[in-house]
Structure 1
Amino acid sequence: MDLSAPLPVLLLAFAPAVMWGFTPVIEKRALSAGGNPIQASLTVVLVDSTVYLVALAVFQNDPFGGISLGTVAIFAGAGAVGTALGRLAIFAGNARVGASISSAVLSARPLFATALAVGFLGEPLSVPTAAGIVVLVVGLGVLSAAKGGDLQGWTTRDLLVPLAAAAFFAVGNVARRWGLSAADATPLEAVAINEFAALVALSAYIAYTGRSRVLNRPRRSYLVFAVSGLITSVALLSMFTALSMPEGRIAVIDPLIATSPLFTIVFSWVWLGDLERVSRGVVAGVVLVVLGAALVTGGPALL
């Protein structure tokens, strides 16, 4: 992994890894106490959208004034796919397989980003990247065979849920980097559009399927998801700021963010002992997935 980027870029990319290593743990606690993925997704995006809109009103004189419709469409699409669908899938994965397992599988998103680059952009598949794919797949296999995660048990098929989240987040990150490269939106404007679009998409989905899946949940679960939303607002803005910098290449940022499962393991071991089992197999699988993700995304830099 190429760590030649300036220190501010590295810190801005590493901060979300720590924060997103912690949020799955508190979310798992709320999900196990009666919360559900749809409620969690809506609460988180409602909180962080509010934070961004307030921040825009306070810190920018003419928010969204110089942004083209094309750029708005890019971030709106990233929000609908990479945020709305991605969060629904990752919360569902957290509920099914546990925080430590779902967080690790989510780090497979560079695999999908690379597939997009190779298939649609014609980028070459380097030897380190190919090796990273093998390591990542082996890591997912180890996780599947590991006796860990949610104590209620889960099947290999359940891994498809956080794996789908990884695909959605990969599409979202590629679109965000593309939109930020246009340089007509600030990171705060970009993340606000992204999250507001996700809020609209989730609200439409809930209106169609019924509000009962969001209402009448334990009060404490709303508070926990709101705290997660506040943490996520900081993490997302940090990631968008890193991506907006000239040195903020996906090959640098994604591997650093992909280290979040290492923190989730520690937090899960400390706070989720009654809900999850962090076995040696889980630790080995997480390490392999993180290493594979680093090779897949930063592979060319290792040559």
Structure 2
Amino acid sequence: MALSAPPAVLLLAFVPALLWGFTPVIEKRALSDGGTPLQAALTVVVVDSAVYLLALALFNPDPFADLTLETVAVFAAAGAVGTAMGRLAIFAGNARVGASISSAAVSSRPLFATALAVGFLGEPLSPPTAVGIVVIVVGLAVLSVSRGGDLSGWTTRDLLVPLAAALLFAAGNVARRWGLGFGEATPLEAVAVNEFAALVALGGYVLATGRKRVAGKPPKTYLVFAASGFITAVALLSMFTALAAPEGRIAVVDPIVATAPLFTVVFSWLWLGGLERVTRGVVVGVVLVVVGAVLVTGGPALIGT
């Protein structure tokens, strides 16, 4: 049976799935210890931006020299919207509904990517995609009544926060794939522009709204968010490299990345027993969302049919 892409591309897409399945768990722990979503988002983007700039200085003596203004603008917009606003929403969702529920809701992003493509680009809606949309909606409904997630309780309205993150990430991923298609930027250059733009956007927001939600938090929370930033740097570079490959289509890469909630459920069950409840409803809802995401973005391509 033929693979949908070379093994290297599939492995590159699997790395962020595993890593982003783990980071919500440690972030939830830090958020419960006094951290805030804005502090988390800013710390993560400061760390991964520093990692990328250092990597560029070491491995690319003349970075960004071949990039046109249009290419830079695409990745900057993706960073300001899909990364800065998206991460802020995902951390807020994690704090409200818990790591397992939030991760599953965010992985519904193919639903929004498809809606954007159908509504604004006039792309057709295939039968597998339509079925996938229904499966995602059912999965989200199951999650909303699962009685799982954050032990302090949450409402269905709280689920809108990670769903907003899914919408923002979907828009960002489509823009990144478009920008990488220009053939000018290396994955490292693309992700560096993306993250620096996110840093500027979040930094500006902090300056405009005050530093109380960022400064003066427990020291260990900064360490956890910094570790998450380093992990995110590896995950993002891996995803960008997969998308930059000729075979790295969204329909191949995004469904694999969208399996992250399956890992989050396992890690939550292992390490968040005092903060979250992983019920059968949570497991069923997560599986439905992941299966729906695979169908929406071209499930047959993943199995070589």
Aligned to 2:71: 71
Partner of 1:88: 88
- Name the structure 2 match of 1:36: 36
SS in 1 for 2:152: coil
Aligned residue type for 2:297: T
Match of 2:130 in 1: 130
State percent identity of aligned pairs.
76
* Correspondences of 1:231-270 after superposition (within 5 Å): 231-270=231-270
Report the counterpart of residue 210 of structure 1 in structure 2. 210
Give the conservation status (yes or no) of the 8 Å contact 1:129–1:300.
no
Matched with 2:10 is 10
The match for 1:173 is 173
SS of structure 2 residue aligned to 1:154? coil
Distance 2:38 2:299 in 1: 36
CA positional deviation for 1:217: 0.2
Residue by residue over 1:241-290, the C-alpha shift from the partner in whole angstroms, topping out at 9 and shown as x without a partner, is 00001100000001000000000000000000000000000000000000
Spell out the pairing of 1:134-145 with structure 2 (5 A cutoff): 134-145=134-145
1:120 shift after superposition: 1.6
Separation in 1 of the partners of 2:40 and 2:4?
Answer: 37
Q: Find the counterpart in structure 2 of residue 121 from structure 1.
A: 121
What SS does structure 2 have at the residue aligned with 1:212? coil
Distance 1:113 1:285 in 2: 20
Tell me how many residue pairs correspond in the alignment.
Answer: 302
d(CA) in 1 for partners of 2:61, 2:179: 22
Query: Where does residue 271 of structure 1 map in the other structure?
Result: 271
**How much has 1:300 moved relative to structure 2?**
6.4
Tell me which amino acid in the other structure corresponds to 2:142: V
Letter in 2 for 1:174: V
Partner SS for 2:63? coil
C-alpha deviation, 1:121, in angstroms = 1.6
- Whole-Å Cα distance in 2 between the matches of residues 86 and 73 of structure 1? 18
Structure-2 separation of matches of 1:45 and 1:273:
28
Match of 2:284 in 1: 284
Q: Which runs of 5+ in 1 are unaligned?
A: none
Q: Secondary structure at the match of 1:211?
A: coil
**1:145-173 alpha-carbon deviations (Å, 9 max, x no partner):** 10100000000000000000000000000
- Detail structure 1 runs of 4+ shifted over 4 Å in the superposition: none
What is the RMSD of the two structures over their aligned residues, measured on CA atoms?
1.0
**Which residue matches 1:297?**
297
Deviation of 1:116 after TM superposition, in Å, equals: 1.2
Deviation at 1:119, TM superposition (A): 1.3
Counterpart residue type for residue 195 of structure 1: E
Structure 2 alignment gaps of length 5 or more: none
Q: Give 1:73 deviation, angstroms.
A: 0.1
